[in-house]
Structure 1
Amino acid sequence: MCDMSALDNLVANTAYLKAQGGDEKELRKRRQSLALPKPEKCEPIRASVGQNFEFLCEQQPVGKKLFRQYLNETPEYAVAAEFLDELNDWELAEGAAKDKACTNIINQFCKEGSKSFLSCLTGEALEKCKVVTEKDFEVVMMGKVKEAVREFLKGKPFTEYTLSPLFDKFLQWKEYEKQPITEKYFYEFRTLGKGGFGEVRYRDRVTQ
């Protein structure tokens, strides 16, 4: 997976070289190496990645981030995603923190008057969610409710996401990852000094 912080550093270094009057041809080639492929070049990979929700939206770091970004555009979708995050935090918590997380989840997601009520639920999962207590929290929330929320996200939200520009962006990243690793990705830096904003560095010119 591409290192975003390394890309940021490389862009900053490119700007520094440009300010120092670096070789324009070299700078142009470097900028091109950082650019994502054009969307029309990513159609073949659309079929190869398939339609597996777990792979595209949970296992792939960039895909997970872009899917969450898409969900945040629709309140109902955002609430479902936030609930799963909070439930995961509860599962990892211990002692008093776990008890507090349990109470917060019930008040935030299980009360019909709450703005974050899980309106995506239906049927048995909805009824169990509305009457859940601290005593049966783990059985109810980690069982039918969690399963129902995930199934909801795997349905219409996921289908819409795969047709959105954000999914196109994910495909661009997957295509970008296919590029072979060559010497153009490796740079040597020298520290020029340190100041109030951290270290100042420049890249040694690569000799061919």
Structure 2
Amino acid sequence: MDMGSLTTVVANSAYISARGSFDGTANPSANRDKKYHARLKLPHITVCEGLRETLDLGFQTACVEQPIGKRLFQEFLEANNEYKGPCRLWKDVEEYNQAEDQDRIKKASKMLSRYMEPSAKHFCPFLPENDITKVKEKYAEAGDDLFIETLTSVLDFLKEGAMVEKRILARVHSRFIVSLAYAFQTKTELCLGMEHLHQKRIIYRDLKPENVLLDNEGNVRISDLGLAVELEDNQTNIKGYAGTPGFMAPELLKGEEYDWSVDYFTLGVTLYEFIAAKGPFRTRGEKVENKVVKKRILNDPVAYPEKFSEKAKSICEALLCKTVDQRLGFKNGSCDELRAHPFFSELNWMKLNEGAACITGVTSKMAPYNLLALI
């Protein structure tokens, strides 16, 4: 929190505490209010400069006891050079896996010179020689599995400093754009969760990024079923206004009857936001009335930034289809049609269902099935 934000918090706190007094004289609580103001007054910044030297930059203080954002994470790396190279290599491996085939050779060559040459500034001496040899011999092939062993070694090294957890916290407590690999992991598990709910005849109605949680293994957990409704055995549709502005499906906004198709519209909005760091029906930071957002959902086409791959764009378009019958989702008791989309073409759903498929770098255990290689 910057000083301006802190000042605002203090001012608001003082107002709330002292709002019972208006004239400051006749009111018997005036003295109490002055005490509140005095208690909330901040010392001058020059008085606080000495505190800088007393700050503990260890993991327990910086990450467990204090919220951590990207800036603090970078400051931690600056103070701990042994983790700087491995963390950069980890990020570059993710970028390599997301890169187009024609760009991978150039990316792999840079990673070789940056992290695997003893004279390099960010040389990673902990990497096994056979891992480096494999990359040197096969980088020209630009294969999906080129850096799998390297990433395993990096994460094993970073475990000592709890850097995996630290990086997750950096993402959670700061404004960030989810990589396509993370969006892919989340999307696949959300599909399974939605299918399970719908097979139990439950319409969720409030899927959004805030309600998507991660457990200790990095797997998705759907939260806040306060707006969920269960259909009776002989019931196929329901009517009622429920959900979050910007996420509600067109048929719901029109006041029509609907089924679980509304959940796949919100799934499309959620996936879009994971990738673009903004919703499909408003720009980042835009403050518009709900009726304007409603009009956009009902009438406006969705624009896709360049960061969307063709497959990601295709599945979002299928989920955000304004015509219910044409929308991708739960049909004939399953999500088989959704699973068959090219976005998931290289995913083994059976392994994912069994828990063997996970995204390396999110989970705390190494799994045999690496989703990072699929993008």
**TM class by smaller structure:** 0.3 to 0.5
TM-score by length of 2: 0.27
Structure 1 or 2, whichever has the larger Rg, is: 2
